[in-house]
Structure 1
Amino acid sequence: MQKLGIDMSAGGGLMYGGSGKDAAKSSSKAERDQQKRRAAAHEAQRRGRDKDRERSRSKSEGRRKSSGSGKAGGAQQQRKGRGIPIIIVPPGFSSLINMYNAKGFLQDSQFETWQASKERMDAQGVGRDNIVILQRTHLRESPVVYHVVDNANAISGKDWARVVAVFTQGASWQFREFPYKDTVDVFQHVRGFHLRFEEEPKVPESVRGWDVKVLWISRNNRHKDRTAAMQFWEALDQFLASNRSTLAY
């Protein structure tokens, strides 16, 4: 019976040797298949964890970039303060900028002589106001209102806190009505500017001695107007930020 592949068990049962080998082979193959499935499952889990980590890193980097962009752009947003800033221009007609052409230069970045502005306004029947209202758009997502005046006497005590800039031709009498002891004190509280044609490079000695920023424009080349206007706003922003102004500038 052994030749036939049949054996007798101790209990008298029949054991088929050939079938037993087949069963062992089948069992071994099943184990190998199961091991392969487990290995594949582990590999899939590993890849899934790697993808999750990659997504997490991407989100973290995105948040950092967004935060950095917000901080960079924050300096270009309108300050959420209170009070309209005031800019003072010279009251006479000897300055390149006064109440007639201040709006065109500061708001529209386009310089026009005050004589030409006055003639145009007269032809339109528009009189000169005591306060020029301009809307600043440079480095701002929405317009910011500024007031331009030329009469320091008309500024009340509490409103001096809103005076942020002054254009000067170098005459010290312009500051007689300012509530500060001298010009040094003036320019510690108010940012000083001097507008000048580059064809006339000799800056007045008084202006050179004061803490005043000179803005250069061309007598005939209007392409340079925008650069000078941008320099005005950027210098004013830096001044107000350093003084921690609470105005809406």
Structure 2
Amino acid sequence: MTRPSICAAFTSPGSILNQDLGGKAQVHKFAYIEKLDLITWLEGASEESECIKPLAGDKDGSASTAAAALASKGAAAPVIGSTLGRSGKGTVDPRLASIYNSERRMGDRNSVLRGIKPTDFSHVRKLAAIFMTKKPLHPSSSNASSNPTIPSHQKQKRPDPIILLSPSASSLLRMSNIKSFLESGQYVPPNSLAATSSTSANMLHINRLLKDIDANRPMRFILVEGSEQFKPEYWNRVVAVFTTGQTWQFKNYKWSNPTELFHHIPGIYVGWRGEQLPESIRAWGHRVMNVAVDRWSNPGTAAVDSSRWRDREAVEGIWKAIESNMRTKGWKRDRAPASI
């Protein structure tokens, strides 16, 4: 039995032995032996193979040898008998051999995976060593990674609460006199000589101890007249709004509607004792605290009137209302509320 091939007909070694035995015995065919012998011949490692039988026109097997050489180089073997592949002596046409030599070399699995010889990649280990070196961990960082909880002595800083003042010129409390009023409990007109704060300041700080929230340290309050520089999260820290009853004050607020504003933040109105409340203050009802102070007897003097003892009573009422609202909103010793 013969099989068509690239250069010759393959004859099974098992069939040759069966013929020699004359039918008295039979040799089983081992396909892997045939395959191993054929691959060895195709790779050029062996010039002879019992699987190869020369064709009738090629007694010396020159065509088979030439085709095997081309196959070992990765070129396709020409078919003997074609117009360009057959010369007078049964050898491969040089022109066809040149064409096959220009073809892309496919190679076998050994040449594709490993090349001519095994590749040494030991130099890659040296290059990667500098990137694989482990840096020693700092003791503090290792302890932090093993214990993700925050130590008790590293407490989160509490933000400062904010109080908004009215920028109206008719307001009895401005940046020039609010500090003496809320800290010292004494009212002085904003334009009098007794007013100690600078009228050009756009932000002030005052300290007040609120025992029901933090009995160990005073809280620092930030006082401003406008919300133009506010970030959105600042509104969660506003604890009081001083107003004169004029709605234009709330134009740039988060809640421009007075009813909605005083639903979230308590309002405070400071007026002269004995005077009638503005209509807007009465309309807003209990959401705005009404505080009355005595009129200043001599605005031109620089001395503070010692008879103004009722000012302190008014201030204490304001702080009591602010503290009560802060407790309700969720102010704690170490944190502010997430929303109001």
Band the TM-score falls in, shorter-chain normalisation = 0.5 to 0.7
Higher relative CO (CA 8 A, sep ≥ 6), structure 1 or 2?
A: 1
Distance 2:158 2:173 in 1: 27
Give how far 1:117 is off. Answer: 5.5
Report the equivalent of 1:148: 223
Distance 2:170 2:290 in 1: 16
Distance 1:153 1:163 in 2: 14
Distance 2:251 2:167 in 1: 13
Residues 18-59 of structure 1: per-residue CA shift (max 9 Å, x gap) = xxxxxxxxxxxxxxxxxxxxxxxxxxxxxxxxxxxxxxxxxx
Give how far 1:227 is off. Answer: 0.5
Matched pairs, number = 165
Report the equivalent of 1:129: 201
Residues 219, 189 of structure 1: alpha-carbon distance in 2 compared, 3 angstrom cutoff:
same
Distance 1:107 1:120 in 2: 13
5+ long unaligned stretches in structure 2: 1-155, 297-306
1:232 aligns with 2:318: yes
Find 1:106's aligned residue among 165, 179, 182: 182
Which one has the bigger strand percentage?
1
Give how far 1:142 is off. Answer: 3.4
The list of structure 1 runs, each at least 4 consecutive aligned residues, that deviate by more than 4 angstroms after superposition, is 117-121, 138-141, 246-249
5+ long unaligned stretches in structure 1: 1-79
Distance 2:194 2:223 in 1: 16
1:214 aligns with 2:290: yes
Distance 2:204 2:176 in 1: 9
Q: CA RMSD in A?
A: 2.4
Distance 1:119 1:187 in 2: 29
Residues 100 and 117, structure 1, Cα contact 8 Å, conserved in 2: no
Residues 146-191 of structure 1: per-residue CA shift (max 9 Å, x gap) = 0100012122211111111110000011111111252111012211
Residues 180 and 186, structure 2, Cα contact 8 Å, conserved in 1: yes
Distance 1:135 1:95 in 2: 22
Give how far 1:129 is off. Answer: 1.7
Which one has the bigger helix percentage?
1
Give how far 1:128 is off. Answer: 2.8
Q: Secondary structure at the match of 1:185?
A: helix
Q: Secondary structure at the match of 2:228?
A: helix
Q: TM-score by structure 1 length?
A: 0.60
Q: TM-score by structure 2 length?
A: 0.45
Distance 1:117 1:135 in 2: 24
Distance 1:216 1:180 in 2: 26
Query: How do residues 111-122 of structure 1 correspond to structure 2 at under 5 angstroms?
Result: 111-116=187-192, 120=196
Find 1:159's aligned residue among 223, 234, 250: 234
Residues 223, 128 of structure 1: alpha-carbon distance in 2 compared, 3 angstrom cutoff:
same
Aligned partner letter, 1:91: P
Q: Secondary structure at the match of 1:154?
A: coil
